[in-house]
Amino acid sequence: MRVGGGFVAELDRQQHEVAVPGDWTYASAPESRDIVHIRDRYGYFVDGEWLEPAETYETIAPRDEEALAAVGQGTPADVGRAVAAARNAYADGWSSLPGSERAKYLFRIARLLQERSREFAVLESLNGGKPIKESRDVDLPLAAAHFFYYAGWADKLEYAFPNRRPRPVGVAGQIIPWNFPLLMLAWKLAPALACGNTVVLKPAETTPLTALLFCDILRQAELPPGVVNIVTGDGRTGAALVESEDVDKIAFTGSTEVGKAIQRQLAGTGKKLTLELGGKAANIVFDDAALDQAVEGIVNGIYFNQGHVCCAGSRLFVQESIYEPLVAKLERRLATLRVGDPLDKNTDVGAINSAAQLDRIRELVASGVEEGAEIYQPPCVLPEKGYWFVPTVFTNVAQSYRIAQEEIFGPVLSVLTFRTPEEALEKANNTPYGLSAGVWTEKGSRILWMAQRLRAGVVWANTFNRFDPSSPFGGYKESGFGREGGLHGLEPYLRFDE
């Protein structure tokens, strides 16, 4: 371990310090990082080979700002080479390979991800800051599940779309964010490959390492060179991919602002586009809900992955009659969350992904206090190095406040109230976004009534943040368009003879 035991010991000491006398505390349980070998320098994975980058930047560990590796800042020329390799691979056999053969590669990739899941989980937590128990139990199993799922579709496209003659689109340019780096890679690659496309993928600038390690899996799986190419870099590299003339489709997950710019850029070009953008999800708790269960769902909804989740339940709507007991339970539960080293198996809330993101969260939280909301943060001593933010609840929030309108993308919850289902619905839909929502009630008919009227791509009932490869995911309004996952997730990667 390059990070000395002192860091972990310090965290442990701090956790003991904040413990209430008589309470029991967790001993630290750090996961070893010896399983991962990080190279000093990475190039671009193009045509099955590593291309040397002309310019690099350091990618760091948000838990302590340790420099992990030098990574390429892809230029338009690098992107051009990757797109040319993808085009050749497309024409040179991949697009005409029988679906059953493509499926074999996808199955292999899924199995290899499972075999190497611990290595990937450790690297994901190290480079991105998320708790190891999340990368181990959520990101990795779901990433493998996506490859398994789409492997199953590869030879059944004619049955999925009967009488429509599905054919691949061509070269797909895919741009992904930093909150679920490997999982977003799997969401994007698996359906694209299953449908017979080739790909150029650009990981987010702060979290390139699992995508670069994934190139090892592509080689192990003996995927033909050029079918998947990975070019790292910041937004400029992404923009070069969008501008590339020989790309037939762009799939983008990221901020609404960049998504809008991409849509403007592609208008009239005939290129296919899917956008999965921001969110400000409503999590609605009715007075007949099982409160303890709802509290767990609220916590999972907003503090999972430090709130770096586009579908996070960041606006909590509580029916007035249960407002006080629910908020009391929630604040008690918050005090038990363990914030700290992402590589500690007991950690619930890890590090904020970057200094820039931490600044954004701080700015919005300050605006909430200024506008008059009441802030609650449990006692919590944060490590000195790295990027951290204490799980936060705002009460007394008016709908007009920025913390109720804007996506914070951090561990910050805004609590609002309602009296009737109609009022809950109106307030929940009062947002430019529409990615997800949650409804907590014992009444099945109310769940259905709400789900039909909530303008959100996903509505969870008596649960939150549940994902499955067979279930489509995507937004309404400024949360984007197009679906990923399930049968719907195949369509953006296919052309039809209609």
Site for ligand ADP, rule CB under 6 A: 175-177, 202, 204-205, 234-235, 238-239, 242, 254-255, 258, 261-262
Contact 228, 47 (CB under 8 A): no
Give min distance, CB of 433 to ligand ADP, in A. Answer: 14
Q: How far is the CB of 176 from ligand ADP (least distance, A)?
A: 6
Q: Which of 195, 215, 310, 380 is catalytic?
A: 310
CA–CA separation, 141 vs 248, rounded Å? 30
In the complex, the smallest distance separating the C-beta of residue 272 from ligand ADP, rounded to whole angstroms, is: 16
Quote the crossing angle between the two packed helices 209-220 and 117-128, to the nearest 10°: 160
306 within 8 A of 460, measured Cβ to Cβ: no
**Which lies closer to ligand ADP via its Cβ, residue 75 or residue 395?**
75
* Residue placing its CB nearer to ligand ADP in the complex, 154 or 231: 231
In whole angstroms, what is the distance from residue 91 CA to residue 52 CA? 26
Burial of 423 (0-12, 13-18, 19+ CB in 10 A): middle
Q: Which of 119, 124, 205, 276 is catalytic?
A: 276
Q: Residue 357 in contact with residue 409, Cβ under 8 Å?
A: yes
CB nearer to ligand ADP: give 235 or 378. Answer: 235
Per the annotation, the verdict on 311 as an active-site residue is no
Cα Rg of the chain (Å, integer): 23
Closer Cβ to ligand ADP, 180 or 317, answer by number: 180
User: Could you tell me which of 327, 328, 332, 333 has the C-alpha nearest to residue 417?
Assistant: 327
Location of structure tokens 């368009």: 481
Q: Report the C-alpha gap between 239 and 348 in whole angstroms.
A: 35
Closer residue to ligand ADP, CB minimum distance, 230 or 326:
230
C-beta of 286 vs 304, nearer to ligand ADP: 304
Are the CB atoms for 11 and 340 separated by under 8 Å?
yes
Exposure b/e, 124-142, CB count within 10 A at least 16 = b: bbbbbbbbbbbbbebbbeb
Count of beta carbons in the 10 Å neighbourhood of residue 328: 11
How many contiguous H segments (helices) and E segments (strands) does the chain have?
A: 17, 20
Closest-CA residue to 52 (of 86, 79, 78, 88): 78
Closest distance to ligand ADP from the beta carbon of 460 (Å): 23
Q: Which is nearer to ligand ADP, 60 or 295 (CB)?
A: 60
Rank residues 205 and 348 by Cβ distance to ligand ADP and give the closer one: 205
CA distance 321 to 498: 54
| Closest to ligand ADP by CB, 181 or 386 | 181
3-state DSSP percent of the chain in helix, strand and coil, to 5: 45, 20, 40
Name the residue with the smallest CB distance to ligand ADP: 238
The position carrying tokens 């193009």 is 46
For 220, half-sphere exposure in the C-beta direction (CA atoms, 13 angstrom radius) is 15
Q: How far is the CB of 240 from ligand ADP (least distance, A)?
A: 8
Q: What string of H, E and C letters represents the secondary structure of 179-226?
A: CCHHHHHHHHHHHHHHCCCEEEEECCCCCCHHHHHHHHHHHHCCCCCC
Closest approach of ligand ADP to the CB of residue 30, in Å: 28
Residue type, 24: W
Shortest Cβ 83–ligand ADP spacing (Å): 14
CA dihedral of residues 302, 209, 384, 29 (deg, nearest 10): 80
Give the catalytic positions in this structure. Answer: 276, 310
